[in-house]
Every structure is written in C-alpha cells, then in structure tokens.
Structure 1
Amino acid sequence: MTDAVPQFRKATESADIDALMETLAPDAELASPISGRLVFRGQDDLRILLTAVYRGISAMQWTDQIGDGAHRVLLGEASIGPFRMTEAMVIELDEDGRIRKLNPHIRPWPALTFLAVRLGPRLIRHPGVMRRAAGTRPHTP
C-alpha cells in the first residue's frame, strides 16, 4: 500500500470496517478524544472500537485534507443522534503508507458526549479492550 488515506476516507464514509482495517498498520493506535487517556492499539482492539464508532455515526463526510507525506489531517462532519459534529483526524503513516496513528478531535461537546454515551455499552462488552487501552499511553517520538 502506498497511501492508505484515500481508502481510509472511503471506508469510514461507508462504514466498511473490513476496508478500513486494511488501511491500518498492525501496530496502529488511536488516542481517545473522549477520555484523553485511553489509547487503543492493534488490529483486534481497533476493529472493535472502530466498528462501534463508524456504525454509530451517520452521514460521515470528509471535506478537506491537509498535508502530504507521513502526516495528514482530514476535516469532516457527521451526525450522531440529534447532533451534528465536526472532526479533525490527525493521521500518521508508517513507511509502507499504512496508518500508524489516529488522533481524532471531535466537537462540539454535546456531540462528543452523545458519542461517549453510545460507545459505552458497545465497548463494555469487551472489558479486555478497555483494560488494555487504559494501561497504555500514546507513543510520542
């Protein structure tokens, strides 16, 4: 894969989790925008999290992309329940062009809170995922 970002955009807009997972490096990680402390790592844990996220929101559309090379920012919007939300997704690619790090920034606060309420019951079914995410910190170079 030379650049996973176009496939990531398409996969997240259509909630195609299998296509989304193909864009991620085996050691990919996502820092939670809800807690600021949870870091989800690895294909298995990210599949559970990203399935809950992208099947819980609707009308996801990436509107702009900033940057090139290994660092990108996608700007987008979606709906969650009765709320519209905007997102800035900071992406870091590995040397193979796969996504190594995802750092979402979501606003406004009511949409982020509603997302947390929606994700809670879906993720509580996977206590190991939550335990592993709580025991790690984001990797900083």
Structure 2
Amino acid sequence: MSDVVAKFREATEAADIDALMTTLAPDAELTSPVSGRLIFRGHDDLRILLTAAYGSLSHLRWTEHIGDGTRRVLLAEATIGGFRMTEAMILELAADGRIRRLNPYLRPWLPLSLLAVKLGPRLLRHPGVMRRAARG
C-alpha cells in the first residue's frame, strides 16, 4: 500500500497528472480546503481540479509521511505567487491500495486565498465540475 503513497508524492511534486491519476481509485473524492463543502469526485472531475491545483504551485516538496494503515498523513511545503504555504494531506486508501479520499489542509490564509483566486477561473471553465462538487 505504501507504494501508491510514494507514487502520489512523486507525481504531485512533478505535477505529473497522468501518473497522479493512476494512484486514485475510480470513485476517489477530494474535499475542498477552500470551501470545506465542495466535494470533487471521480477521475474526470479530479483531473480538472488537480491539474489546476498542482499547476498553480511551485517547489512542492513532501517532507513527512505519517502512518502505515489505510489512513496516511503527508506534510508538504510549496510556494504560490512567491508566498510560502504548508499542507497537511490526509489520504484514505481503498481496499485495492489506491487512494479513495484526499483531504488537504492548507495554510496560511494568504497563500490559500491566492490559490483560490488562481483556481476559480480555471474551474469555472468547467461549470459541470463545480455543479457536481457543490452537491456535496
């Protein structure tokens, strides 16, 4: 199971969305760290979201990997628009070992807000993705 977490780390650091998608279960979901209410589900919607998100960050580096069961915690540092950001990502693994649920927690407020500003226009080009995520 830890191989998928290592692949996830490598893929996100390289912003390699194709490799990232292979780590996700078909029914994977991500809860928005910006709204806490939007839930993005499935490969099609997650590909759009993750392309926009990881394409907005620079110098992403995972610094810690905590846990060895079906729930893992990754800690990271990145920059966006010259501001330093930290992330805690809780991953829940499915029975097949792929990632079933992603719960990112980002701080501080200013870089998180900048990320939201960058993601907004990219996601609004796909109104169906936003509608589906808003269903929670």
How far did residue 4 of structure 1 move?
A: 1.0
Correspondence 1:1-141 to 2 at 5 A: 3-136=3-136
Which is further off, 30-39 or 1-10? 1-10
What is the total number of aligned residue pairs between the two structures?
A: 136
Q: Which residue of 2 aligns with 1:139?
A: none
SS across alignment from 1:117: helix
Percent sequence identity is 71
Shift in alpha-carbon separation, 1:9–1:2, aligned structure 2, 3 A: closer
Distance in 1 between the 2:4 and 2:41 partners?
Answer: 18
More helix as a share of residues: 2
Could you give the per-residue CA deviations for residues 65-109 of structure 1, whole angstroms, max 9, x where no partner exists?
110110100000000112110000000000111000000000000
Distance in 1 between the 2:23 and 2:122 partners?
Answer: 23
How far did residue 3 of structure 1 move?
A: 3.6
Letter paired with 1:94: A
Distance in 2 between the 1:27 and 1:3 partners?
Answer: 19
Letter paired with 2:126: H
Distance in 2 between the 1:84 and 1:3 partners?
Answer: 28
Contact preservation (8 Å) 2:29, 2:40: yes
5+ residue gaps, structure 2, are none
Cα RMSD after superposing both structures:
1.0
Distance in 2 between the 1:82 and 1:7 partners?
Answer: 27
Distance in 2 between the 1:65 and 1:82 partners?
Answer: 25
SS across alignment from 2:51: helix
Normalised by the size of structure 2, how large is the TM-score?
0.98
How far did residue 119 of structure 1 move?
A: 0.2
Letter paired with 1:66: I
Contact preservation (8 Å) 2:92, 2:99: yes
5+ residue gaps, structure 1, are 137-141
Distance in 1 between the 2:61 and 2:72 partners?
Answer: 16
